[in-house]
Structure 1
Amino acid sequence: MTKLILSTGNIVSGGPSIIRKPGAYRSNLEFTNSLRSNFLAAQQDYAPDSELQSNGNGNSSANGFHQETEGAGRTPLSLWTAQEDGVLFVPRIDWSLAGLHEEPSRYQITVKLFFLPTASISDRGKYASEALDLVLQELRAPSIDLLVVSFPGMSFDGDCEWEADKLNSSQGNDDEEAATWPAIEELQRRGLAKDIGIAEFGSEKLARFLKRVQVRPTVDQINIKNCCNVPPPLVKLAREQNIELLVHSDCTDILSKGTLRELLGQGLQGAGVLADPETSVEGLQGDLAPQWVVKYTAVVRDRGVIENKGYFASADLVEC
């Protein structure tokens, strides 16, 4: 089994095509488009001079592959990815370029960790530590201000706020969420996260959750895109428990197995990491199991400007 770590790099400085667009531009599109852009940039950066291709207009192209032929002429995988201690980084990361422009204390750093449905419940503590370590290394920061956890199977959808709150009460898995939370509490106790929070918890879910945890979340993020307002019972409970309610536009189904295979496959939109038995194109073989996605944002406190924003994701590649 091979562990894959995918990264977008800083998408704020990556160009307008991968920065969040206004309106209904959801984070799964931002995430996948950013990954594609970073994969292509790495293939260009690490392409041998002999791989430069003519684009038919007299100009050179170092994109690492022919646009019209799947898998042909791609930059070798070994050049633009890196294998470290059993982990394949896609693309390779130059950690010497990591870090914020100013002292970390000048930033408000928020991290949102998405546990994916294919992830092992018992390994969530390890996943949380891995994800946060990568973010801290990328930003060269000793800690973050807020860590928000998104559990699978949770949403906040309905024709009105009352219906959304009612439907939410039966979503997710109370036992699994409560069993995971001590690992998140431990990250706070270690001083790695000042505050910890949850996402998509309605009034009934939140009330049950609070009875089962030692350290209560300070934040509850909800997506009310299909509702008019925050449900009054949730507003009341949050006020009583001193929990801040924040609205977000993140997609809960941020990385499916199919999307990941498309991102890494041999198609024209893929990075050419995986083998294609139908065309006999070589590459990694096996079944992909996405584990987690982490989104991080660093905002300059005194200016309110986002300086650094990006994503990491992890998946296991199990040989068939």
Structure 2
Amino acid sequence: MTKTIVLSTGNVVSSGPSIIRKNGAYRSNLELTSSLRNNIREAKEEFANTAAENGQTNGNGTQTPVSVWTEEDGDVLYVPRINWQYGGLQEEPSQYDITVKLFYLATGTSSSTRVKHTREALSLVQKELRIQQVDLLIISFPGMSFEGDCEWEADKQNAGQGNDEEELPTWSALELLQKEGLVKNMGIAEYGSEKLTRLLERAALKPTVDQINIKNCCNVPPPLVELAKKHNIELLVHTDCTDILPKGTLRELLGQGPQGAGVLADKGSNSPGLRGDLIPQWVIKYTAVVRDRGVIENKGYFAGAELRDA
């Protein structure tokens, strides 16, 4: 039996100083894990009084039981539970540029499964922001990076990364999202000149954006610049971490440790919590920018994982 666990951060823009921020580029994996811990802590505090009033404690009378601050809907467990009535944007959706970036985390996944995950992730963002369409969906496949001693070496190494036989069918299947009006434009992440050429040769829908991290090689490879210019593809740089939610990090986050949420039982122990093999599947990052002012009003993450019987 498989259970889906959906984690959420809420709006990290309004979360205050409790989210750790560092000087310089702020990697998304640090922002994600810090924001998840913060949101879980706030949910526990929010429901603590209700639990005490109802006599719901975990034996010692101090801890808020997991069932109080999480929510189960069929085979989906929301961590923490989401109060959807507080979602939405302050102005009309037409006043915003809304970008989402979807990180596929598991390898060996079929295109149909990835499309299913994409629809699930997009529906969460739509519900959170109360929108019907996102302006840009950027897809990030696992096993991709842009690293090397120079831009030429990074581009060369990138050519052999990932798995075209998984990525190209997924991209083609995702084209339907644009036809349905759920997505206005689609982009790709971490595609060098050779990877992008192979995508353009086989895909009916070309990406409007190629987002790359050039932290280690400093410059964009000239062949990629030429190819993007030829096909009118905008090149964007980012500081996101490709391995945004490792399996060990997620288990620690939900486990019984000092900073754990207490949702999962410790392996090989009699501790309370859910048991099984936890496999991160995807993370979606969303950003809503007020178009006229260039101000980020809403930014957050959802993450999806599968808990499979051991």
- In the alignment, the residues of structure 2 paired with residue 17 and residue 39 of structure 1 have an alpha-carbon distance, to the nearest angstrom, of 12
Shift of the 164–277 alpha-carbon distance from structure 1 to 2, 3 Å rule, reads: closer
Contact 1:119 1:291 in 2 (8 A): no
Contact 1:120 1:291 in 2 (8 A): no
Q: Which residue of 2 aligns with 1:145?
A: 135
Segments of 5+ residues of structure 1 without an aligned counterpart are 53-63, 66-70
Q: Which residue of 2 aligns with 1:96?
A: 85
Contact 1:125 1:183 in 2 (8 A): yes
For the pair 1:266 / 2:256, whether they are aligned, the reply is yes
Q: Which residue of 2 aligns with 1:190?
A: 180
Q: Secondary structure at the match of 1:75?
A: coil
Write the letter of the residue equivalent to 2:75. Answer: G
Query: Aligned-pair distance for 1:14?
Result: 0.6
For each residue in 1:130-173, what CA deviation from the matched residue of structure 2 results, as whole angstroms up to 9, or x when unmatched?
11111011000110100000000000001111110011010001
Query: Aligned-pair distance for 1:29?
Result: 0.4
RMSD: 2.0
Query: Aligned-pair distance for 1:49?
Result: 5.9
Q: Secondary structure at the match of 1:187?
A: helix
Contact 1:272 1:283 in 2 (8 A): yes
Aligned structure 1 segments of 4 or more residues deviating by more than 3 angstroms = 19-22, 48-52
Write the letter of the residue equivalent to 1:88. Answer: L
Query: Aligned-pair distance for 1:183?
Result: 2.6
Q: Secondary structure at the match of 2:261?
A: coil
Q: Secondary structure at the match of 1:183?
A: helix
For each residue in 1:202-231, what CA deviation from the matched residue of structure 2 results, as whole angstroms up to 9, or x when unmatched?
001101111010000000000000112100
Shift of the 227–72 alpha-carbon distance from structure 1 to 2, 3 Å rule, reads: farther
Shift of the 271–119 alpha-carbon distance from structure 1 to 2, 3 Å rule, reads: farther
Query: Aligned-pair distance for 1:25?
Result: 2.3
For the pair 1:83 / 2:72, whether they are aligned, the reply is yes
Write the letter of the residue equivalent to 1:76. Answer: P
Shift of the 293–39 alpha-carbon distance from structure 1 to 2, 3 Å rule, reads: same
Shift of the 315–99 alpha-carbon distance from structure 1 to 2, 3 Å rule, reads: same
Write the letter of the residue equivalent to 1:222. Answer: I
- In the alignment, the residues of structure 1 paired with residue 167 and residue 108 of structure 2 have an alpha-carbon distance, to the nearest angstrom, of 13
Size of the aligned set, in residue pairs, is 305
Contact 1:111 1:148 in 2 (8 A): yes
2:214 to 220, 224, 230: 224
Query: Aligned-pair distance for 1:121?
Result: 2.4
- In the alignment, the residues of structure 2 paired with residue 155 and residue 270 of structure 1 have an alpha-carbon distance, to the nearest angstrom, of 30
Q: Which residue of 2 aligns with 1:177?
A: 167
- In the alignment, the residues of structure 2 paired with residue 20 and residue 175 of structure 1 have an alpha-carbon distance, to the nearest angstrom, of 38
Contact 1:6 1:314 in 2 (8 A): yes
TM-score (ref. length: structure 2): 0.94
Query: Aligned-pair distance for 1:93?
Result: 0.4
Q: Secondary structure at the match of 1:5?
A: strand
For each residue in 1:234-279, what CA deviation from the matched residue of structure 2 results, as whole angstroms up to 9, or x when unmatched?
0000000000000000000001111110000001111010113555
Query: Aligned-pair distance for 1:85?
Result: 2.4
TM-score (ref. length: structure 1): 0.91
Shift of the 128–113 alpha-carbon distance from structure 1 to 2, 3 Å rule, reads: same
Q: Secondary structure at the match of 1:280?
A: coil
Q: Which residue of 2 aligns with 1:10?
A: 11
Of residues 146-155 and 41-50 in structure 1, the stretch that sits farther from structure 2 once superposed is 41-50
Q: Which residue of 2 aligns with 1:249?
A: 239
Write the letter of the residue equivalent to 2:292. Answer: D
Q: Secondary structure at the match of 2:4?
A: strand
Q: How does 1:1-320 map to 2 (within 5 A)?
A: 1-18=2-19, 21-48=22-49, 73-118=62-107, 120-122=109-111, 123-276=113-266, 280-320=270-310
Contact 1:7 1:91 in 2 (8 A): yes
For each residue in 1:271-304, what CA deviation from the matched residue of structure 2 results, as whole angstroms up to 9, or x when unmatched?
0101135553211111101110000000000000
For each residue in 1:34-53, what CA deviation from the matched residue of structure 2 results, as whole angstroms up to 9, or x when unmatched?
0000011001101146759x
